[in-house]
Structure 1
Amino acid sequence: MKKITLIGAAFSLFFGTVSAQELELESDATLLKKYMSTITEAELKDHLSIIASDEYEGRETGERGQKMAADYIAKYFLSQGLVGPVKDNPNPYFQQFDLYSSKYSRFDITANNKKVELFDDLFPYGNFSLNKDTEVVFVGYGDSTSKMDDYANADIKGKGVVFYQNSPEEYLEEDDKAKGLRQKARLAAEKGAAFAIILSDSDEEYLTQTKRYASFLKKGKLSFKKPDSSKEEKSFGVILAKPSTFIAMLNKDEAKWNKMIQKNLKKGNRPAHESFNISINAEYSTRRVPTENVLGFMEGTDLKDEVLVISAHYDHVGIINGEIHNGADDDGSGTTGLLELVNAFSQAKKEGHGPRRSILFMTVTGEEKGLLGSEYYSENPIYSMEQTIADLNIDMIGRGDADHKDNPNFVYTIGSDMLSTDLHNIHLEVSKTFKPDLTIDYTYNDKNDPNRYYYRSDHYNFAKHNVPVIFYFNGTHEDYHQPTDTVDKIQFKEMANRAQLVFATAWELSNREKAPVVDKTDTNQK
């Protein structure tokens, strides 16, 4: 989507969006500005210096540091007068639930007295519990098109298949250019294969593909349901393999093998369906991982049955290869921004200016593991989705990206117009009125954006239930998911400005006469 700054947004308001022209803010501007100003750089730094400290060990879901952060947040909610809304729990600020971590204790493939092993040579997708001798068949690039059908006359029923991940362009029709690992794996399953071993084009590509995710696989994959190993042998498996060691295990010369592959580019020259006998030994163990969302509730006045949710995830990725990943920006910044919003609303309520609608302040766990905490809440809400008027989600507002190195005072907003024209117009008017100096960037406000940010943070679990959302985000940077994402690199002045924008929007939403109307439907849920 084309980048639109605040000036551009105002231009569209004037020339193209009548409803935005007609919208008027209903909040007391003097009060809003008074309490917005209580959100300060110093207080943000105080909170973040604790939450993103080494003591909290990177706040990995279910681990000691995450529990410490949960305690810190809950105690702060209590100190600010928020109520713990979880009635069936000893700690009413904790919405507790169990996840299950599955971790490989062994995964190797053997042939010709040679072995390739987990992580160094193999990267399995999903959980496998196998101990068997089996046959695999080489099927070239694993494609089936009008130009070339690699599966023609191949006997693969119940066997494994081996093929290269990336097909040469001349091998495919125009409509097939987007075929990747998932599509090829699906085709292999449809053809009757039991599993697929997919070869990267080179060792370098394999290492690039697996470097980022190997550490997470070593820790274990989290899921809501305990995996059933009795079902794994019946499910289709996918294994990414390092080509040099895998080909050597098959007693093949890699240079000759590659020369044979190149012949497949010639029209009509299908791959020789050579088969190989291998042994697969894969075992994984599962453990229960209790974790918790942390919820604090501020009851409203005359519109208290309607609830505004303000969310941020407080988990991060923990310790990887002995290094603490502090997650100061991701998402210590969103978490501490939320805590400052709590403080601002609490001061207002103490002085007799509490919100008309109720506000649920929610920091969620398990975001880094697949938006698990917000998914759990959305499926087990304390306040129904029908009561929930909007979710304002804050994830990574402490830094900037390379595109804004000359203008750090900006924020990406995503999703405001996906479900509600009203919410988007309120967002525009609040931004223009209370934060005219803050550039609002809509670059990623597109469901089809290749980065898919609309789907990648906790707001989306509300959007799936047709709750309007705004996602506040400042892009990724060189320290994203690295041990170098530390407090000293946070831009607290700009961070405070962004948090103040969220507060101003929340203040308006919680005090307006009418909640935003949902006038659109998300037809692209994934």
Structure 2
Amino acid sequence: MKKATILSAALSLCLSAASAQGIQLESNPELVNKYMSTITPNELKEHLTIIASDEYEGRETGERGQKMAADYIAKYFMSEGLVGPVKDNPNPYFQQFDLYSSKYTSFEITSGGHKAELFEDIFPYGNFSLNKETDLIFIGFGDTSKDFDDYANADIKGKGVVFFQNSPEEYKGESGDKNGLRQKARMAAEKGAAFAIILADTDEEFTTQTKRYASYLKKGKLSFEKPNSEQAASSFGVILAKPSSFMAIMGKDQSKFQKTIQKNLKKGKAPAHESFKISINAKYETRRVPTENVLGFMEGTDLKDEILVVTAHYDHVGIIDGKIHNGADDDGSGTTGLLEVVNAFSQAKKEGNGPRRSILFMTVTGEEKGLLGSEYYSSHPIFPMENTIADLNIDMIGRGDAEHKDQPNFVYTIGSDMLSSDLHNIHLEVSKTFKPDLLIDYTYNDKDDPNRYYYRSDHYNFAKHNVPVIFYFNGTHEDYHQPTDTVDKIQFNEMANRAQLVFATAWELANREKAPVVDKKDESQK
């Protein structure tokens, strides 16, 4: 995104605002400004310094730090007069549920005195168990085309296959993907192989691909369902391998082997099939991981059966390779922003200016593991989804991105117009009225945007149920999911502006005579 994008975003705001002239705000501006001003940089910093401290160990889902953060948030909700709405639970502020974590306890492949080890030499995709000595068939590039068929005359039924990840130009493969890990693996499974070992082109490519995901595999994949060990034992295994390690297992000189293949390709010959004996031993364990969403409820007055939800995820990625990932921006910033919105509404209610509609403030768990906490709530709602008028979701509002280095006072908003014209127009009028100097950037407000941010935070689990949403977000940066995402890098003045915008929008939605009408259908949810 270039600087021109900021200009186009500003122009988009002007044009959209013009189209929203028919919307009239129903809020009392003096009250909004009075309580909005209670959201301050200093108070945000006080909360975030605790939540994103080393003591909270990066708030890994189900681990000690996440539990500490949950207790902190629940106690704060209680101190601000919010009610715990979860019935029949020892702590009514906790919506508790179980997840299951599966991870490999061992994974190695051996042959001829050589050993390939997990993460150093091999990286498995998915969960599967194998413990056997078996034939491994080298089949070149695992591809087919009008000129080449790597599977021709290959006896691979029930055996393992090994091939290069990327097909050369000579193939113009029918797989349609030169970087064909997934499609080639599917082809191998369809042709009867038991598992596939896919060789990266270079050791550097293997390291690049695995470095991004190894920490997650080491921690284990979280899911709602307990994995079935019998299914895992029978599932198709896909393993990315470092080529130098596997050439050693195959007893080949890597350089000579690849040169021979290239010479044959120029002669129109596919790589010759070769068979090797290997032993593969892959085991994984499953454990139950209890976790909880934290809910605080403020009952409304005459429209109390209608619910506005404000969300932020309070989990992060924990400790990776011995380093605490504090998650100050992701999403300590959204969590503390939500706490300050709670405080503003609490002060208003104490002074007799409570909301007409009820508000559910919810910090969710398991976002980093696949939006699991919000998915659980949307499937097990404490308040009916049909009574939920909107979700305002806050995720990463503490910093800026490279595209706004000269305009730090901005926020990306996503999803406001996906389901409801009313919500979008209300959002525009609130922004223009109460935060005119805050640039609203719609760059990512597109369901087809390649970053797919509309689908990547907790609002989406409300949108799936036809609940209108607004996602407040400030982009990624070099410290995203790194141990360097720390409190000292947060821009608290700009963060306060964004939290104040959320508050002003929530106030308007909670007090309008009519809730936003759902007048659009998001076809992407099919």
TM-score (norm 2): 0.95
Check whether the contact 2:138–2:163 (CA below 8 A) recurs between aligned residues.
yes
Of 214-223 and 54-63, more deviation after overlay is shown by 214-223
2:506 — aligned with what?
A: 506
Deviations 1:450-505 (A, max 9, x none): 22111111111111222111111111111111111111110000000011111111
1:11 — aligned with what?
A: 15
Deviations 1:336-369 (A, max 9, x none): 0000000011111111111111111000111111
1:176 match: secondary structure: coil
2:468 — aligned with what?
A: 468
Judged with a 3 Å threshold, the aligned counterparts in structure 2 of structure 1 residues 150 and 484 are, in CA distance, closer, same or farther, namely same
Q: What's the CA shift for 1:142? A: 2.4
After superposition, residues 8-157 of structure 1 pair within 5 angstroms as 8-14=12-18, 17=19, 20-146=20-146, 148-157=148-157
2:372 — aligned with what?
A: 372
AA partner of residue 498 (structure 1): R
1:426 — aligned with what?
A: 426
CA RMSD of aligned residues (A): 1.9
2:386 match: secondary structure: coil
AA partner of residue 58 (structure 1): G
AA partner of residue 62 (structure 1): G
Of 387-396 and 163-172, more deviation after overlay is shown by 163-172
1:355 match: secondary structure: coil
AA partner of residue 153 (structure 1): N
Q: What's the CA shift for 1:216? A: 2.0
Judged with a 3 Å threshold, the aligned counterparts in structure 2 of structure 1 residues 375 and 274 are, in CA distance, closer, same or farther, namely same
After superposition, residues 474-489 of structure 1 pair within 5 angstroms as 474-489=474-489
Check whether the contact 1:140–1:264 (CA below 8 A) recurs between aligned residues.
no
Judged with a 3 Å threshold, the aligned counterparts in structure 2 of structure 1 residues 415 and 151 are, in CA distance, closer, same or farther, namely farther
AA partner of residue 312 (structure 1): A
Judged with a 3 Å threshold, the aligned counterparts in structure 2 of structure 1 residues 517 and 213 are, in CA distance, closer, same or farther, namely same
Q: What's the CA shift for 1:289? A: 1.0
2:133 match: secondary structure: strand
2:69 match: secondary structure: helix
AA partner of residue 273 (structure 1): H
Q: What's the CA shift for 1:139? A: 2.7
AA partner of residue 349 (structure 1): K
Q: What's the CA shift for 1:165? A: 1.9
Check whether the contact 2:335–2:363 (CA below 8 A) recurs between aligned residues.
yes
1:211 — aligned with what?
A: 211
Q: What's the CA shift for 1:166? A: 2.4
Number of corresponding residues: 522
Judged with a 3 Å threshold, the aligned counterparts in structure 2 of structure 1 residues 380 and 267 are, in CA distance, closer, same or farther, namely farther
Judged with a 3 Å threshold, the aligned counterparts in structure 2 of structure 1 residues 148 and 330 are, in CA distance, closer, same or farther, namely same
| Structure 2 Cα separation of the partners of residues 329 and 68 of structure 1 | 18
Q: What's the CA shift for 1:179? A: 5.6
2:522 matches 1:518 = no
AA partner of residue 508 (structure 2): E
After superposition, residues 434-449 of structure 1 pair within 5 angstroms as 434-449=434-449
1:171 match: secondary structure: coil
Q: What's the CA shift for 1:178? A: 7.0
Judged with a 3 Å threshold, the aligned counterparts in structure 2 of structure 1 residues 202 and 348 are, in CA distance, closer, same or farther, namely same
Check whether the contact 2:167–2:178 (CA below 8 A) recurs between aligned residues.
no
Of 256-265 and 504-513, more deviation after overlay is shown by 256-265
Structure 1, unaligned stretches of length 5 or more? Answer: none
Judged with a 3 Å threshold, the aligned counterparts in structure 2 of structure 1 residues 197 and 59 are, in CA distance, closer, same or farther, namely same
1:21 match: secondary structure: coil
1:326 match: secondary structure: coil
Deviations 1:153-203 (A, max 9, x none): 333222222222223455326992576322222222222222221111111
| Structure 2 Cα separation of the partners of residues 402 and 192 of structure 1 | 48
